[in-house]
Structure 1
Amino acid sequence: MSVSINARRIETVLPQTQCRQCGFDGCAPYAEALASGQAAINLCPPGGMPVMHDLAALLNTPPLPLAQADKAAAPKVLAVIDEAACIGCAACIKACPVDAIIGATKQMHTVLANECTGCELCLPPCPVDCIDLQPVADAWLPRARQLADAGLAPREAAASHAQRRHQRRQARLQRLATARRAHLAARAAAVTQTHGSSAKLNPADLIAKAMARAQAQQNQRTEATNQADFAQQQIDKAQARATYRRAQRDLRYGSEAEQAAALAWLRAYKAEQEN
């Protein structure tokens, strides 16, 4: 590359989906790699040819064929949660880079369609395969543009909105981490102060308190084990239901090989249930 461009300027060209399909941990790291000459300009499937050509012009480098041309040519997608199958594990909420999924632990989750960037990061962590990708005709995602600067073209407005959603999420996570560190530090200081100021205790009192703590810890371990076993049972049941739904779907809509495999699985499943 014959010019040196600031990474922040490069980042304004990227679609801000934070999808990591370029091989980097988001749009900002990809922009930094481009600025330092450590990455090619053709790695962004969501941006496709428009972004690749803009990067080529910005960095004064020849255009390149897209590294993932098929992926770039495919329609944009929105994540959709099968709310009846969702077990409320919150894994997808933690994975979404723009806070486009709402819900609470052990409660039904749902995707805010207008905020979804189609990054697909919510799919891998879902333990029950209850998230589907719905193709849409939109040229650029997300559909929401409220946070974008006025007067931007649709592509730039979508990217600007998504970037600010991501930045707000990062700031929120940073605040939570800071608050947690402060809480732990305060608790440690309180424990130290209590130990330093406590008077000498009777040996019998020390033994009694130690035994009480040991019993309490044992009770907590037993309760935690029971809860973990129950949670795993719920996940196993949900995974079995998800596999059953996939087999039914493959039996109706799959290829011949998929239909044959689905039929064999369903027969085995039925035999297992009858035993």
Structure 2
Amino acid sequence: MQKTVTARPVPYLRGHPETAFGIHPVMTDGHTATSAMHLGGWGLRADGTRMHQGATGVLIDDTTAYAALTTRGAGQWGVTSEISVDFHTTIPARAQLISAAATADHSTQGWGHSSGQLRGEGGELIATIGQRMRFFPGDDSPHRQTPVPPEAPSWLTSLDSHLEFSDQQGTRSEFVLRTDPGMRNPMGMLHGGIGLCFSEVAANAAWERSSNFPGEPFRTASLRVSYLRPGVLDGDLRVVVDIIHSSRSVVLAEVHIRNVDGSAATFGLATLHRVATM
């Protein structure tokens, strides 16, 4: 394993996903990237009790990606291979600002890795986060595009409005992810943070539709998403969730986001924990 030695600057680009999700500019200093986001009503669960934890997906992806990119070699760029999140608390409905920081841990000839934390306004730990990135020959030209102004109209109404239930067979539930051009990353594909976001939302929606759901609130404890191929936004995407284990306190769900042609763009594993009552 080769430790990080030099840090390469990463040009910041505010795209439509960053504008929609209220992401602040991502700043890099050495191997560390920092950012924050403003939450809004768009992130609330349908019952209004708390925020969807997946609402932080773009912030997580951007911050960990920028940190990992600082370790790329000359003439290299990178794509997200895997994102991991361990949530330590729910995000309350009143939450307004969440900050993120991530630092590159190591790099090899073709890979980089970063890890960090999400924190609330009072400094409380919300989640620990990480990203594994694959480097490839390329340049930063995708990030040299014209930035989207912060005041630009947002395509995001509410997270729930973009995910529609379509079918259920046994432990498997399917949803339609209504896509929008504003979900694209600088390379024109589904933004990894948006894929992370709707994987989390769909896992919870599938469990709450399950015949085994006890009617008690659960929260996402962890989420691992592997990015298998680009999410192509030529039409609406399918999100397929299979509840592979459930008990009174723990649920495991596999989540696939599939392109129009049926190919899997992402594979995720979500662990849900029953919310303890005092």
TM-score by length of structure 2 reads 0.23
Which structure has more relative contact order (CA 8 Å, sep 6+)? It is 2
Of structures 1 and 2, the larger Rg is shown by 1
**Greater fraction of residues in strand:** 2
Greater percentage in helix = 1
| TM-score, length basis structure 1 | 0.23
